[in-house]
C-alpha cells in the first residue's frame, strides 16, 4: 500500500507541477491582459483552462490519496477520468466526486423525491437547485452562481431525451480507441465545459463579457500570441501524454498504476525515475492549488 501511495503521489506531482503550474503562468497572463489579447489567444487559453484545473485539482487529489495510503488509509478517488465523458451528466459523475456525491445524496435525491409528481420538470428543478448550490459553494459571487445554473441548464436536453439516467459503455474500435462518434461527443463535452469555466475563472460579470467579446472579434483568425511559450510547450506535450495514457489506463484507479502494463520491476523503476526527472526538468513556477481558496 505504501508503494502504491508513493507512485500515486508521483503521478499527482507530475500533473500539478508540469502541466498545471506551467499552464497557470500562460493562462493567468492572458486573463490579466484580456483587452490586449487577440481572439485566438483568448480562445486557446479558454480551451486550456479545463486541463489546468483538472491537472491541478486531480493532481492534488492523487497526492492526498497517496499520502493516505502511506498512513494506511483508504481514501475514495475524487476523479474518474472526466474528459472521457460523452455528456455533462457523465462528466459530473466523474468530476469532484466527493462534492457531487455528497450533494446527490443530501440535496438532489431529497429534492427529486419531493418533486416526483412533477415528472421531468421535477428532475430539472432538482438539478438546477443542486447546481446552483454547487456554484455558490465556490463563493458568493454572481459568476459562480451563473456557472452553476449553466451546468444545470445543460442537463435539460438529457432529461427531455431520457439520457440523464442512462450509463452506456464507451464504444471502442479494434485498436481500443474511441469510435469517431464517441470522440466527437467527448470533444463536445470538453469544449462546452471549457466555455462555462469562463464564468468560473472570471472575477466579475464584466470580465466574462470582455472575455467572450474578445473571443468573437475578427482577431480570432489571427495567430495566437503567448509570451510564455517556454512554459506552454512542455505543458501541452505533458497534457497530451496524460490524456493518452489515462485513456489506456482508464480501468485503473489512476494512470500510473502500471502493473498491468509492465511486469519487470526494473522497467517500472526506470519509468518512475523518468517521470521524476521530467518533473525536475519541466516543473513550472510554484503556484498554489486552485481549490485551496474554496
Q: What is the DSSP letter of 46?
A: H
Provide the domain count of the chain: 1
Q: Is the dihedral of CA 281, 284, 290, 292 positive or negative?
A: positive
Instruction: Please give the full DSSP string across 209-269, using - where no structure is assigned.
Output: HHHHHHHTSGGGGSPP--TTHHHHHHHHHHHHHHHHHHHHTTTSSSTT-GGGT---HHHHH
Instruction: Give 259-273 pLDDT, tens digit per residue.
Output: 999 999 999 999 999
Average pLDDT value for residue range 224-245:
89
In a domain, 113, yes or no: no
CA 291 from centre of chain: 12
Provide the residue range defining the domain that includes 27: 2-81+221-293
Q: CA 140 → CA 133, 181, 199, 235, 288, distances in Å?
A: 10, 39, 13, 32, 21
Instruction: Give 275-293 pLDDT, tens digit per residue.
Output: 999 999 999 876 778 876 6
In a domain, 178, yes or no: no
In a domain, 246, yes or no: yes
* Greater model confidence, 220 or 114: 114
CB contact at 8 A, 158 and 14 = no
pTM of the predicted model as reported, rounded to 2 decimal places: 0.94
Q: Is the dihedral of CA 53, 59, 62, 65 positive or negative?
A: negative
In a domain, 138, yes or no: no
For residue 5, give the 3-state DSSP assignment.
helix
In a domain, 20, yes or no: yes
Task: Please state, rounded to an integer, the average pLDDT across all residues of the chain.
Answer: 92
Which of 89, 9, 96 is CA-nearest to residue 50? 96
Active site residue 138: yes
Residue 236 pLDDT exceeds 70 = yes
Average pLDDT value for residue range 233-246:
96
Residue 45 pLDDT exceeds 60 = yes
Which of 278, 292, 285, 286 is CA-nearest to residue 245? 278
Task: Count CA within 13 A, CB hemisphere, residue 291.
Answer: 15
* 77, 93, 138, 268: the active-site residue: 138
In a domain, 185, yes or no: no
Residue 26 pLDDT exceeds 80 = yes
In a domain, 62, yes or no: yes
Amino acid at each position: 500500500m505504501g508503494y502504491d501511495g508513493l507512485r500515486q503521489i508521483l503521478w499527482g506531482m507530475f500533473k500539478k507541477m508540469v502541466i498545471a503550474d506551467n499552464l497557470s503562468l500562460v493562462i493567468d497572463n492572458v486573463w490579466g491582459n484580456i483587452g490586449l489579447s487577440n481572439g485566438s489567444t483568448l480562445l486557446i487559453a479558454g480551451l486550456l483552462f479545463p486541463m489546468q484545473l483538472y491537472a491541478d485539482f486531480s493532481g492534488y487529489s492523487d497526492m492526498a490519496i497517496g499520502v493516505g495510503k502511506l498512513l494506511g488509509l483508504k481514501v475514495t478517488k475524487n476523479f474518474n477520468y472526466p474528459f472521457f465523458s460523452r455528456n455533462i451528466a457523465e462528466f459530473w459523475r466523474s468530476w469532484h466526486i466527493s462534492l457531487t456525491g455528497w450533494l446527490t445524496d443530501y440535496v438532489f435525491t431529497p429534492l427529486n423525491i419531493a418533486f416526483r409528481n412533477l415528472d421531468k420538470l421535477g428532475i430539472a428543478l432538482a438539478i438546477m437547485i443542486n447546481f446552483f448550490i454547487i456554484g455558490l459553494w465556490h463563493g458568493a459571487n454572481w459568476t459562480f452562481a451563473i456557472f452553476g445554473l449553466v451546468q444545470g441548464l445543460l442537463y435539460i436536453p438529457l432529461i427531455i431525451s431520457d439520457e440523464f439516467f442512462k450509463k452506456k459503455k464507451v464504444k471502442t474500435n479494434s485498436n481500443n480507441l474511441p469510435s469517431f462518434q464517441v470522440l466527437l461527443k467527448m470533444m463536445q463535452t470538453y469544449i462546452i465545459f471549457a466555455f462555462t469555466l469562463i464564468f468560473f475563472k472570471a472575477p466579475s460579470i464584466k470580465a466574462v463579457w470582455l472575455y467572450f467579446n474578445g473571443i468573437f472579434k475578427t482577431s480570432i483568425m489571427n495567430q495566437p500570441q503567448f509570451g510564455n511559450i517556454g512554459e506552454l510547450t512542455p505543458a501541452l506535450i505533458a497534457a497530451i501524454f496524460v490524456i493518452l495514457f489515462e485513456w489506456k489506463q482508464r480501468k485503473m484507479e489512476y494512470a500510473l498504476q502500471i502493473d498491468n502494463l509492465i511486469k519487470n520491476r526494473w522497467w517500472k523503476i526506470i519509468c518512475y525515475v523518468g517521470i521524476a526527472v521530467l518533473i525536475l526538468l519541466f516543473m513550472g513556477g510554484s503556484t498554489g492549488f486552485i481549490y485551496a481558496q474554496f
